[in-house]
Amino acid sequence: TRHITTVTLNAAIDKTYFVPDLVPGKANRASRTIAQAGGKGINAARVAHALGEPVIATGFAAGLNGQMIRSGLTQEGIPHSFVEAAGESRTCLNLLNEATGESLEILEAGIQIGEDDCERLFTHVKELAATSSVIVMSGSIPSGGSPDIYRRLIEAVKEFRVPVILDTSGEALLSGIQAAPFMIKPNKEEAARLTSEAAKDDAEGDERLHETIRYLAQANQIPCIAVSLGEKGAVALYQGKLYSVSAAKVQAVNPVGSGDAFVAGFAVSLHRGYDIASSLMLASACGASNSLHSAAGIVLPDEVAALIEQIEVRELADL
């Protein structure tokens, strides 16, 4: 049977410090800490696994931290096969202010990777692509890695005709979309940044966002674009049709990783062959479920099922 593959180039040990009230310039004591394997693709793998679907997490892992990432995943029962690289995989900090619910993330740049590391990864991802239903590529590129690594990676797996979901930002996204992945999930600012002046007309608000998405899809031949709008849900374009998906109303405990969970919900939907409306609902529910848990990438299937009931997908009539 086929499996979902997640690629995390910049895997991390995610450390979450729960601080009763975070005060800059003071010694802040944590009431509790969590350390777990992280990075966007790994979080997505955790969600797909929680939903009961077969998944293999890959990417680069380096040094002792890399070993901790691997053994953490093994303990969680999440299959993995990372490519070893030199140095130490990074640590990412999430300082969660319990008084406000706000989180302050400090993300390290990550290991130095070279061309030979990339070649080894491409070879490995191609092996996994042969048996994959979906490939999720998420997160930043480790320092020193060439900005076109996602473009080349997507091109390397094209022959397998497996849908690729690319969830990254900045230069990495700009370059990655040139290889026309199946789906991207930029936020509003990112989507606007990707759009050339040509698409920026006088439209305001929602209309402007819809224009941006349409332009992005047409210019780059990306079949599915979901723009995340946080608490407002998401707007998605699929096969020329625009959809809005609402977000469930929840009291978030830790929002970090909700975007990764959204992507995972969509990947699981593709794996299961869901239609677009069901896919968007599952994605949105996974994002909400994630935010209800202390650690990133945690969703509960029953909770997800209950949250779906609150979520509405509407086809926007303006096309």
- Residues forming contacts to ligand TA6 in the complex (CB under 6 A) are 10, 12, 14, 38-40, 43, 92, 107, 139-140, 256-257, 259-260, 296
Of the two residues 199 and 268, which places its CB atom closer to ligand TA6 in the complex?
268
CB 269, min distance to ligand TA6, A:
20
Of the two residues 12 and 276, which places its CB atom closer to ligand TA6 in the complex?
12
Of the two residues 39 and 233, which places its CB atom closer to ligand TA6 in the complex?
39
- Closest CB to ligand TA6: residue number: 139
CB 92, min distance to ligand TA6, A:
4
Of the two residues 45 and 311, which places its CB atom closer to ligand TA6 in the complex?
45
Of the two residues 199 and 256, which places its CB atom closer to ligand TA6 in the complex?
256
Of the two residues 89 and 195, which places its CB atom closer to ligand TA6 in the complex?
89
CA 66 to chain centroid, in Å, comes to: 20
C-alpha–C-alpha distance, residues 160 and 176, integer Å: 18
CB 145, min distance to ligand TA6, A:
12
CB 107, min distance to ligand TA6, A:
4
Of the two residues 76 and 211, which places its CB atom closer to ligand TA6 in the complex?
76
CB 296, min distance to ligand TA6, A:
5
Residue whose tokens read 């026309």: 180
C-alpha–C-alpha distance, residues 58 and 6, integer Å: 6
Question: Pairing relation of β-strands 55-62 and 3-8?
Answer: parallel
